[in-house]
Amino acid sequence: MVSMNSKKVVPVWSRIVFLVLLMLGLNDSASVFAADLDAKWELKPGDRVVMLGSTFIERENTQGVLELSLRLASPETKFTVRNLGWSGDNVLGESRAYFGPVDQGYQHILEYVQLTNPTVLIVSYGHNAAFNGEERLDEFVTNYERLLKDVAAENRRMIVLGPTPLEPVVRSAEVVKSQNETRKKYGQAIEQMCASQGYVYVDMLEPMQQVQKKLKLNSLTENGVHLDRAGYIAAGEVLANSLGQSFIKEGESILQDSQFAAEAAPVYEKILWKNELFFHRFRPQNETYLRGFRKHEQGQNAKEILEFEPLIEEQDQKLQAEASKVLKNWTR
């Protein structure tokens, strides 16, 4: 009689064959590969990448997908990423002015770009401006060109991202189609300006829509305007394409793969924690008391802002070590 606790013995060679086939299957279906694309730019060892823009960039703080995409595209390249995004911002920096004059917001941009001293500056504006219509396009481009010239520096690579697409969630499909046409014209004008100044331009609108079709994503946004996680996955793919890489094969992205998500979780968590630490360094919650018009009350505590820097640097080291160890296993 066979015991109910007995187990069927599987030959060792059978297990080995199964594991090899499993590994081959995983590597074939979920890995980063060099796409048939011309790289527009590259990440170099020691790069300091800084992202500057409005809501699309600020929300990357808690999404972390764009940085994960950069690290996945160049897993063994050591670089840092800092996020200077600010919701509702424009090329004049108006949202950054706190309680001061509008010009103070623009100076805030220049101050923090200088502080972070990027070797790669990824800039994304035009999302909000496009709602103003074609009649204000020239004004926008003039102000954008001024900003980019002011934040440019010798040996600093300038990567300019175009506007992301809108979706008919609140507005009708007809209205959104018209608005996307306007965004396309803004993108084309930005591209022409970048070409004249020697900046790298990355179109986001139609490429993200193409990624949506490839991956059969239900949506790219949570409300028709702001990207949801799927939207950031699409944006991450477009960013990887600009580096000559792709995360998609046979209609699936590595960024959607459950095994990748499990293995990359420590990297992702470190990205988000580093982002939070830098956010407090960049935008302390009690700015008014520390450096604003009430600094006479608690201004002596402003020195504590700088105490975030060693914490951020420590997290950078942990993040880079984890990324190099984990992400290289998903490239070929």
Q: What is the pLDDT of residues 134-160, one digit of tens each?
A: 999 999 999 999 999 999 999 999 999
For 218-227, 236-245, 290-299, 307-316, which range has the lowest pLDDT when averaged over its residues? 290-299
pLDDT interval class at 54 (50, 70, 90):
very high
Rounded mean pLDDT, 304-329: 88
Percent of the chain with pLDDT over 70: 82
What's the pLDDT score for residue 239? 98
Q: Are 151 and 91 in contact (CB under 8 A)?
A: no
- Angstrom distance (rounded) from CA 59 to CA 228: 10
- Mean pLDDT across the chain, nearest whole number? 87
Neighbouring C-alpha atoms within 13 Å toward the C-beta of 5: 0
pLDDT of 4 higher than 90:
no
- Angstrom distance (rounded) from CA 72 to CA 237: 11
Rounded mean pLDDT, 213-229: 97
In order of 59, 66, 86, 102, 330, the CA distances from 93 in angstroms are 17, 23, 9, 7, 39
pLDDT interval class at 17 (50, 70, 90):
very low
Per-residue pLDDT tens digits for 98-120: 777 888 999 999 999 999 999 99
Q: Are 254 and 236 in contact (CB under 8 A)?
A: no
pLDDT of 230 higher than 70:
yes
Percent of the chain with pLDDT over 90: 74
pLDDT of 11 higher than 60:
no
Domains of the chain: 34-250 (3.40.50.1110)
Helix, strand, coil content of the chain in percent (nearest 5): 60, 10, 30
pTM for the predicted model, two decimal places: 0.87
**Which helix (H) or strand (E) element contains residue 58?**
helix 55-58
